Homo-oligomer: A and B are copies of this chain.
Amino acid sequence: MIALLAGGTGAARFLLGLARVVDPRRLTVIGNTGDDLDCWGLHVSPDLDTVTYALAGLLDPARGWGVREDTFHCLGAMARLGHETWFRLGDRDLATHLHRTRLLREGRSLGEATETLRRALGVPCPILPMSNDPVRTRIRTPEGWLAFQEFFVRERAKVEVLEVRYEGAARARPGPGVLEALRDAEAVIVCPSNPVTSVGPILAIPGVVEALRATLAPTLAVTPIVGGAPVSGPAGRLMAALGLPVSAVGVAAYYRDWLDLLVVDERDADLVPAVEALGVRTAVADTLMTDGARAAALARNALAALGVPG
């Protein structure tokens, strides 16, 4: 079993590649819930949904979020009723949030809701929320604290980041199966996701870093930063705010406490010595995943670096 720490779009692309080269039933995905939000009274888990839709073959490939060919008729009607619509929930996507919200109101856990969703949609592997307890990534900007989605979607990540907090993380328990997956895995892969706001919240759950340090499995991360900028999303601005170099070196520095291997993009091969100086071994590969074949090749390279058979 391969355990994966996953954020949203980048993780989804990598998982689709990985599912081409290993039996997807061998995967266990540990998903970020730090950017969950309440939208229109519904509990939305954007990263869990992106991963679920990807593995179900439903993800919109152009947007990298939401259900392919979805419509936004409910959203238009919500706008007419005076509701905020900067977080765009599609009509088909809404079913996921209605389902989850109903189960949560009935006292089921986020993990149980996620499990029923992935099964109903035909995803062959478990997707485990990092925690069933609420953890919310908050970003301090010159205008004050924002929820992650307010920063990322509403403000399009265009405001200065002064500080990042994972509210609730210190009291949160790891989701059922999370620590066991890290312990029992034959390999642990950190997907090419934003270190600060996609992977950081998972690492902030008490016990996760300890499990990553203790596991006998080799641990590998794929850099989400290529040529000094993130492939997608606001990772650069967030890493800089934390004083990290916006490069594979910064990624290695963030994970070095427990990381064995970092996949550095071939465009950044000159960074290999700096990464290795941090005590992190490297593999060099094309990490851009511009299509499914390239994502599969990246996954194959990662497995080879880990010494795990595909």
Contacts and interface: CB of A to CB of B under 8 A. Distances in A.
Given A71-B71, A74-B74, A81 B95 contact: yes
A273 B98 CA distance: 55
Contacts of A42: 98
Contact of A80 (B40, B98, B121): B121
Interface string A59-93: 00000000100110111111011110000001111
Contacts of A202: none
A40 B71 contact: no
B77 A94 contact: yes
Nearest to A71: B73
Interface in A101-119: 101-102, 105, 116-117
A99 interface: yes
- Copies of this chain, complex-wide, total 2
Given A70-B73, A73-B92, A74-B74, A120 B41 contact: no
A282 B33 CA distance: 66
Given A98-B40, A120-B81, A76 B92 contact: yes
Nearest to A121: B80
A81 B117 contact: yes
A116 B116 CA distance: 35
B120 A82 contact: yes
A40 B102 contact: yes
B95 A71 contact: no
Given A82-B120, A83-B99, A91-B91, A77 B67 contact: yes
